[in-house]
Chains A and B, each alone.
Chain A
Amino acid sequence: MEKPILGIEDIKRILPQRYPFLMIDRVIQLEKDKVVALKNVSVNENYFQGHFPEEKIMPGVLIIEAIAQAGIVLVDNIAKTDKRRIYFLGAVSKSRFFKPVIPGDQLKIEVRLIKFISNIGIISGEVFVSDKKVAQAELSFSVKER
């Protein structure tokens, strides 16, 4: 089991999202241009009730959300500010889903910073299950301090 750099309580101090919308459980690597986070996908996830009753598959949009949340951890780490910041998703591009994510899978979410200028940025995310890539996407976002 990989050692956490940030546990869930640390993550909750950074992310504004809460149950049932926390899409990362643990951060195992955090550098100035890269973050690696883990998400354990359990059969108890509420979205599996409807997606789908006959075959449980984690919605691709929520994998994108996991990339976005890992990205917030990354950008927040660079910002070094105590001010509370809100992040707005601006674009999702180059997204691709290679393999369905099902209950029991552990997502390894690797996010790299491509560009960050004043209040807008671009990140690139890749998601792995057992070292096999299951999804990828590039996300553009803007940040507002409040």
Chain B
Amino acid sequence: MANNIEQEIREIIAEIIEKKPEEITPDANLVEDLGADSMMALEILAAIEKKYRVVVPEENLSKLTSLRTIMELVKNLKKK
């Protein structure tokens, strides 16, 4: 299950920032390493909210810097 989520989120990110999924390593920084901008970050957030039916509080936006942090956030929100 955990790996499933990782792969799903990796594919969501890859599609939005137009990179190959394998380039999205867990700790690659979305902005600094992968060239995402704030608009892409919001699109990733919206795609995640839609897919997992969660609401990400606005104050968490700045924490979503990598695949790993996004994955952890989704897992935490799903638990609630």
Please give the residue numbers on chain A whose beta carbons come within 8 Å of chain B beta carbons, in ascending order.
90-91, 93, 114-115, 117-118, 120-122, 140, 142
Contact = CB atoms under 8 A, between A and B. Distances in A.
Interface stretch (B4-12, B24-32, B37-45, B68-76): B37-45
B61 to A, nearest CB: 6
Contact of A140 (B43, B49, B58): B43
Interface of B: 38-40, 42-43, 45-46, 49, 58, 61
Contacts of B42: 115, 117, 120-122, 140
A146 to B, nearest CB: 19
A31 B65 CA distance: 33
A120 B58 CA distance: 12
Q: A-B pairs with the 4 shortest C-beta distances?
A: A90-B39, A115-B46, A140-B39, A120-B42
Nearest to B37: A90
Contacts of A121: 42
B38 A122 contact: no
A90 B49 CA distance: 20
A122 B43 contact: yes
Nearest to A142: B39
Nearest to A124: B46
Given A115-B46, A120-B42, A122-B46, 8 more contacts: A91-B40, A91-B43, A115-B45, A115-B49, A117-B58, A120-B39, A140-B39, A142-B39
Contacts of A93: 43
A117 B44 CA distance: 13
26 contacts: A90-B39, A91-B39, A91-B40, A91-B43, A93-B43, A114-B46, A115-B42, A115-B45, A115-B46, A115-B49, A117-B42, A117-B58, A117-B61, A118-B58, A120-B38, A120-B39, A120-B42, A121-B42, A122-B42, A122-B43, A122-B46, A140-B39, A140-B42, A140-B43, A142-B38, A142-B39
Contacts of B43: 91, 93, 122, 140
